[in-house]
Structure 1
Amino acid sequence: MKKALPSSSPVRLLAVLCAALELGCTANVTDPGGPAASPGGGTGGQSGGGAAGTSGSGGTAPGPIQVDEDGRIANPPAFQAPAGMLRRLTRSQFRNAVRDIFGVEVDVTKLDSDIGQFPAIGAAAVETSPRGVEQYQTAIEDAVDAVWSDAAKRSQFIGCAPGSAAADACTRSFLEKMGRRAWRRPLEAEELDQLAGVASTATTELGSGVEGVRWATVALFTSPSFLYRPELGAADAGGKLRLTNYEAAGRLAFLIWNSLPDQQLLDDAASGALSTAEGLRATVNRLLDASNGSGREAIGEFGQQYLELDRVLTQPKDAGLYPDYNAALQAGMVRDMRATWEGAAFDDKVSALSLFSTTKATVNAELAKLYGVDATGLTSSTFKTVSLPADGPRVGILSKAGFLSQFANQKEGSPTLRGKFIREWLMCKAVPPPPEGVALVLPDVDPNSPTTKRQRLDAHRQSPACAGCHALMDPLGLPLENFDAVGKYRTTESGLPIDSSGEVNGVPVANAREMGEAMAQSKSMAACMVRRFHAYAMGHDERDVDGAVVNDLISSFEASGYQLRDLVVAAATHDAFSAVAPQP
């Protein structure tokens, strides 16, 4: 049982740590964990739901950048490094880091929300609420308790027998090693002394060296140095500001594993291996090929954030219309989408463009039923990869339930929301905001005069104020009209046959299959994917001064046959990956 520290005890500096964490989001922090700079940077926001208008289709799209017909940036200016910044761990990074250190899972839904289309970008601008500080503290205490409640796990975790002396060698050795892993760098002597002091005072008050180490561990992991990632840089031999080796190690680990660096990566940082082109490339390949499969996070997490799959888990549907829509089905939808991205990169090693035409699906019992495939032997928590009918209607990620269900309301799908997301985020083309005063929601269907969504949109577009924007979005969403609000295939709506025709880049398509096949042949779709991955990997919104770097990545992506794994390598080994500028 955990021994509680008296609230008056100087050891339990949790109130101090809470205050430090709160300040760490907006001001300089001095705590066991060292100084932390104020974060900067921006991110696209999230917008609400809508059926006819252009809101509700995800994060705010970047401003227009001129491109050629293949999607390459036209006449880019010279590259300029982005300002250094401080990033809070995203929910998934925090979850993975705690799992990797303590071997336990934490419920990150109780933590402050991530912001932005790509949380790794939003993490540079996010603020931690007082409630959020308490939630981080609780999560860490619970993780530590899970280890300390099992004597064998605790002994293995500490690795030695803590004594009661103020300068206990076991305690200091543990804190030095664990601090290096948690803070992704060696501890300064003063930092180690502060943490050892926490352990010493707790040991005295609680009469146990083991309890002293417990509370020092809590302090270590509730420090801003664990919860925030500094990417501020230092001058290299040529005077250019670049990420330090330890900062670079952290950025690599969080990009590829979505978690902390391991000891070998920290050793590589210490040895200078990350400072050479050969050493850096070898490290990137090692992380991607990790035997535990953690390298798959480089693509799976990107796909999850890019397609906003967390929304799938929180969107309600009309229970009367969709009685089978439940948490197990939602989890299956997300797993299917992630598995499709990861499988293309690491298992099948096929072109990323095949994502738009694949017939592979990874299903549990609930998703198998929705897709109409054999669910024999499956449960809510067991999955298998299947091939959907080669001539069937469901091809590519855009006809998967994980995409279709989120760009819909509680009762019906939305061609406009689906088309808007496709145009802005998958094609990198702009959609202007709706004019003031335009109705963003279509009228309800008259039960005495049923119509299809296409017919309702046709009527809506009769208004000149609506026609322009909808002409950009609806032709991309209408080919998906054979799928309802949860992604189930249908051929009629309100008793009427569905017309699923549309257009891709001005070329007519008859349905989702033809649309996916057309996209799978598009160089501009591949170029857009590179632009989005570049922003995700570099951790900042797209800028015109990134154009030359983006074009480099587009060229290497095309040369590789659009291999997603090679895109990760190209981005992580590009000179721009570790370039930073002074904070303003």
Structure 2
Amino acid sequence: EKYLSASKKVVDTVYADPGLKKKVIFKLPDAENDPKSTAKQVLTYHATLAYRRRLSEEDLAPLLNAFAKGQQIDKNFEQSLRAPLTALLVNPRFLFRAEHDEPGKDEWPLNDFEIATRLSYFLWSSMPDRELFKLADQGKLRDPKILREQTLRMIADPKFTALSRHFAGRWLEFDKMIDQVDPDPKRFPSFTPELRRSMYYESIEFFTHLIRENRPLTDLINSDYTFANVTLARHYQLKEPVTGNELRKIKLHDPNRGGILGMGSILTATSLPLRTSPVHRGVWILDAMLGDPAPPPPPDAGELPADDTKADGLTFRQQLDRHRKAKQCASCHARIDPLGFGLENFDAIGRWRSKDANGKPIDSSATLPGDITFSTPKELKQLLLAGKDKFSANMTRKLISYAAGRGLEYYDEVTVNQIVTGIAKKNDSSRELILQIVNSRPFLNRSKTR
């Protein structure tokens, strides 16, 4: 019922706007075209877009029947199209992305319309445009040259920012900036709605730029640029003069700030309302960046104070050291805590600091298993860059899963390894990663659920 109500509202909106209605009902009956044949042309066009494939007479029959019933009640052509247009918007073929089955097979190729749909929802989070539909109808999308050309065209399109919002936002968790992050307003009065928005869009602009400009994937780990406006520049204490509210690319002079580990969105999303959380930040690095998530804490793990000013005179590091002495906590925290402490110079909203909330000096030194030491965000990033293939493989898995609309299986690791090896030979090209994924076996084929 909610879908039907929403669909009726959409159609009502179209009919209330003469210009929009003319675009939707793009043809009217005339001396050469009677109402039925004209309605068939209009509905065929919209149903092809809505169902994202070539139509059969069986697809069109209920829509034309709905039009015919409307004609019996009201001879007005446009009003008779209301019911079939509404029906299109509640049809499961429109609401769900269905791909054909081939019984008895473990894997089978997608048809061209299915490839067009996968490609469009992967890069644009929306239905294919006319050019993709035309190529699908001509059976050309399995041609690697044409698939490459279309992918590059779509990356250049403004709609490509959808990949940053929907994929990168969920993967890196900066989408939490929209409505899930609430730093304490008394502790952090400078965290304004404008700063929240600026942090969120900095991450979107950065990820979009990374792929559009074919930057290496390692820019996500460390870079000498970001996107900032006057609000962010002030927050980050940037040396480069920045004016205005529009985000623009600027050079970073502080080696601790560049890359996603220095972004306010990530640092705020991995903190608590009143303090930083080395544990959350360490868990995030293991999971989001390295694809090696820590297990959930045991039921009796206990909790650390939510406010670091109420710590009985202890620094947060001292509190956490005391907590990790428990046998059930020690092994996991040995992996987690050092990574998080490497970012302790960034406070709970991503500002650089040298002292904690109690006025005590920040100690960001850390030692990972194997006696691997570091003491600044810069050194932590150098450590991650040294193992960049692990980051590349994790990002590749995440992107393939998102693009194919399914979780990866053990047999997909062959593709992952091939892609990681291939892009490493091309300076870890981010655009090459996208191109190789859309030409990969998991993307161009459908597998039986195993």
TM-score over 0.5 (shorter chain): yes
What residue is the counterpart of 1:186 in the other structure?
54
Which residue of structure 2 aligns with residue 394 of structure 1? 257
- Contact 2:291–2:394 (Cα < 8 Å) also in 1: yes
Aligned counterparts of 2:106 and 2:178: Cα–Cα separation in 1: 47
Maintained 8 Å contact 1:254/1:260: yes
Q: Distance in 1 between matches of 2:309 and 2:195?
A: 31
Tell me what 1:97 maps to: none
- Offset at residue 137 of structure 1 (A): 4.5
Q: Give the conservation status (yes or no) of the 8 Å contact 1:167–1:196.
A: no
Q: Distance in 2 between matches of 1:271 and 1:145?
A: 35
What displacement does 1:579 show? 2.3
> Partners in 1 of 2:368 and 2:423 — Cα distance?
23
User: Are residue 545 (structure 1) and residue 411 (structure 2) matched?
Assistant: yes
8 Å CA contact 1:359–1:395 kept in 2: the answer is yes
> Match of 2:206?
340
CA contact under 8 A between 1:233 and 1:247: conserved in structure 2? Answer: no
2:171 match: 306
**Which of residues 344, 353, 356 is equivalent to 1:490?**
353
The residue number in structure 1 matching 2:289 is: 426
User: Normalization by structure 2: what TM-score?
Assistant: 0.89
Name 1:520's counterpart in structure 2: 385
- C-alpha distance in 2 between matches for 1:531 and 1:447: 42
Percent same amino acid at aligned positions? Answer: 26
1:582–1:395 Cα change, 3 Å: closer
- 1:346-365 to structure 2, matched below 5 A, reads 346-347=212-213, 349-365=214-230
Q: Secondary structure at the match of 1:229?
A: coil
Give the CA deviation at 1:484. 1.8
Give the deviation of 1:549 after TM superposition: 1.3
More helix by share: 2
* Equivalent runs, 1:374-393 vs 2, <5 Å: 377-379=243-245, 382-388=246-252, 390-391=253-254, 393=256
Q: Report what 1:501 is aligned to.
A: 365
Which letter does structure 1 place at the counterpart of 2:221? Answer: F
Q: Report the counterpart of residue 94 of structure 1 in structure 2.
A: none
Per-residue deviation, 1:378: 2.1
Q: For the residues of structure 1 that align with 2:196 and 2:184, how far apart are their CA atoms? A: 14
Which 5+ residue runs of structure 2 have no aligned equivalent? none
Change (3 A) 1:473 1:366: same
Q: Counterpart of 1:457 in 2: which secondary structure?
A: helix
**How far apart, CA to CA, are the structure 2 residues paired with 1:327 and 1:396?**
23
Q: Which amino acid aligns with 1:472?
A: R
Instruction: Name the residue aligned to 1:566.
Output: 432
Q: Distance in 1 between matches of 2:155 and 2:386?
A: 27
> Residues 159 and 295 of structure 1: is their aligned pair in 2 closer, same or farther, counting only changes over 3 Å?
same
TM superposition shift of 1:406: 0.9
Number of matched pairs: 443
Q: Which runs of 5+ in 1 are unaligned?
A: 1-17, 19-133
- Secondary structure (helix, strand or coil) at the match of 1:386 reads strand
What is the correspondence of 1:254-265 to structure 2 with a 5 Å cutoff?
254-265=121-132
Structure number with higher relative contact order (C-alpha < 8 Å, ≥ 6 residues apart)? 1
Matches within 5 A, 1:219-258: 219-234=87-102, 241-258=108-125
> C-alpha displacement at 1:557, in angstroms?
1.7
On the 8 A contact 2:106/2:447 being kept in 1, the answer is no
What's the offset of the Cα at 1:142?
Answer: 4.1
- Verify: 1:451 aligned to 2:319, yes or no: no
Distance 1:363 1:162 in 2: 54
Query: Offset at 1:204?
Result: 4.8
Q: 1:195 aligns with which of 48, 52, 63?
A: 63
Cα pair distance change 1:246/1:452, threshold 3 Å:
same
Partners of 2:73 and 2:190 lie apart in 1 by: 55
Distance 1:525 1:444 in 2: 33
Contact 1:175 1:195 in 2 (8 A): yes
Is the 8 Å Cα contact of residues 140 and 221 (structure 1) preserved in structure 2? yes
Are 1:287 and 2:150 an aligned pair?
no
**TM-fit CA distance, 1:377:** 4.4
RMSD of Structure 2 on Structure 1 (CA): 2.8
Matches of 1:409 and 1:571, distance apart in 2: 36
